[in-house]
Amino acid sequence: MTEVATRPAMPRESDWSAAAAAIRELAPTGRVLLICHVNPDGDALGSMLGFALGLRRFIEVAGARRRRPGGSAPALQATVPGEFEVPEPFAELPGVDLLVPEDEAYEDPDLVIVFDVAAESRLGALVNRLSLARETIVLDHHASNTGFGSIQLVDPQAAATSVVAEQLLARLDVPLDAAIAECLYVALATDTGSFRFDMTTPGVHEMAARLIATGIRPGEISRRIFDTRPFGAMKLFAEVLARAALDPTAAGGKGMVWTYATLDDLRRHGQRPYVMDALIDPVRTVAEADVAVLVKQVDEAEWAVSLRSKGAVDVSRVALAMGGGGHRLAAGFTGHGTPGDVVVAVREQLDRFLI
């Protein structure tokens, strides 16, 4: 058995109906707080905002039926742990008007729904909302999901959390519109590497077809999300890529390529931290290495580490061993010390988890 011991099964029918029942019961009149993971990527924000737009619609319809007092607006918020900064590529996503900073998020929500969060540590200071809510629904697709929350919709076979979000909206009889579809499409395209990775199943393309059928523009969306960055970011990328090192003996001879980016690099090029999210992609193209590592500074001696594998190593096991998580071929953790310290630790773990 090479599977991660914590790997959850697919959601059962009883999980789906429990989630739908909790939403039908609590959302029309209660306070609903949606949360995604810290440093949100396209799946975190896209699945959360797409679901938020659908849920707002659901509440308006259900609330009207239940004669919500005074016809007041739905008590629905979406939030992100940590600093309130929507990365520029996502700043125009439909539904961003529902976002509030974490310190304005309901203190005592009735219902919490979390998106793309594999472990409670990825909720930062908002983790306390889990115990305050009457129900917590977890929508996720990480095999490393730790099983927190009162209702778990965790499907490790789903290519993105937005796959789970679309299914739950369907269970609530919320039809897709272009705004919902744009968010779910961004999430699906992000986590499948623009429909290139192995989990790009017929089901993924069928979902993409449903989303595109609402009238969204995939070319325009992809250019905005993947193919647009400031001039300074390009210069930053050039510098960080120029210092990459190749270690052909790592990972049992399968090879590792790694580089690092510091806060000073960001400052010199006038860039925000999220621009570094795309930096792992050119690093992982290196033919001589199965494993790619990008070490990104977040504080004096604290680093966000991105791991990618072409297939020889289950990097989620490396990440888990280092206190993080993720997927077999894409994972991450928080490292400490210098970039060299972090890479030595990764190298030590790599040989243990060859597939």
Q: Which residues contact Mn ion (rule: CB under 5 A)?
A: 41, 43-44, 116, 161, 191
Give the C-alpha separation, 40 to 34, whole Å.
Answer: 13
The single residue among 30, 42, 50, 325 that binds ligand AMP, judged by CB under 6 A, is 325
SS3 of 303, please? strand
Single-letter residue type at 153: L
SS3 of 218, please? helix
* Nearest residue (CB) to Mn ion, 193 versus 282: 193
Binding to ligand AMP, residues 92-121 (CB under 6 A): 118-119
Q: Among Mn ion, ligand AMP, none, what binds residue 266 when CB lies within 5 to 8 Å by partner kind? A: none
> Residue 183 is encoded by which pair of tokens?
């968010």
Binding to ligand AMP, residues 241-280 (CB under 6 A): 280
> Residue 72 is encoded by which pair of tokens?
């007041």
What b/e sequence results for 115-126 when a residue is b if at least 16 CB atoms lie within 10 Å of its CB, and e otherwise? bbbbbeebbbeb
When asked if residue 346 is in the footprint of ligand AMP (CB under 6 A), the reply is: no
Piece in contact with ligand AMP (CB under 6 A), picked from 18-26, 88-96, 105-113, 325-333:
325-333
Q: How far is the CB of 47 from Mn ion (least distance, A)?
A: 7
The single residue among 210, 229, 334, 341 that binds ligand AMP, judged by CB under 6 A, is 334
Contact 269, 232 (CB under 8 A): yes
Q: How far is the CB of 333 from ligand AMP (least distance, A)?
A: 5
Q: How far is the CB of 110 from ligand AMP (least distance, A)?
A: 27
Q: Among Mn ion, ligand AMP, none, what binds residue 133 when CB lies within 5 to 8 Å by partner kind? A: none
Tell me which DSSP letter residue 12 carries.
P
Contact 298, 333 (CB under 8 A): no
Binding to ligand AMP, residues 287-316 (CB under 6 A): 306
* Nearest residue (CB) to ligand AMP, 255 versus 326: 326
When asked if residue 47 is in the footprint of ligand AMP (CB under 6 A), the reply is: no
Q: Convert residues 2-41 into a mask of x (bound to ligand AMP by CB under 6 A) and - (unbound).
A: ---------------------------------------x
Q: Among ligand AMP, Mn ion, none, what binds residue 119 when CB lies within 5 to 8 Å by partner kind? A: ligand AMP
SS3 of 126, please? helix
Give the C-alpha separation, 354 to 348, whole Å.
Answer: 12
* Nearest residue (CB) to Mn ion, 136 versus 161: 161
What b/e sequence results for 50-72 when a residue is b if at least 16 CB atoms lie within 10 Å of its CB, and e otherwise? bbbbbbbbbbbebbeeeebeeee
Give the C-alpha separation, 213 to 180, whole Å.
Answer: 12
- What separation in angstroms does the CA of 31 have from each of 65, 276, 354? 18, 35, 46
When asked if residue 326 is in the footprint of ligand AMP (CB under 6 A), the reply is: yes
Q: Among Mn ion, ligand AMP, none, what binds residue 259 when CB lies within 5 to 8 Å by partner kind? A: none
Q: How far is the CB of 238 from Mn ion (least distance, A)?
A: 26
Give the C-alpha separation, 324 to 34, whole Å.
Answer: 22
Tell me which DSSP letter residue 337 carries.
S
Beta bridge partners of 335: 303
Give the C-alpha separation, 228 to 259, whole Å.
Answer: 22
The single residue among 275, 318, 331, 345 that binds ligand AMP, judged by CB under 6 A, is 331
Q: How far is the CB of 35 from ligand AMP (least distance, A)?
A: 14
Q: How far is the CB of 122 from ligand AMP (least distance, A)?
A: 6
* Contacts to ligand AMP by CB under 6 A: 41, 118-119, 122, 280, 306, 324-327, 330-334
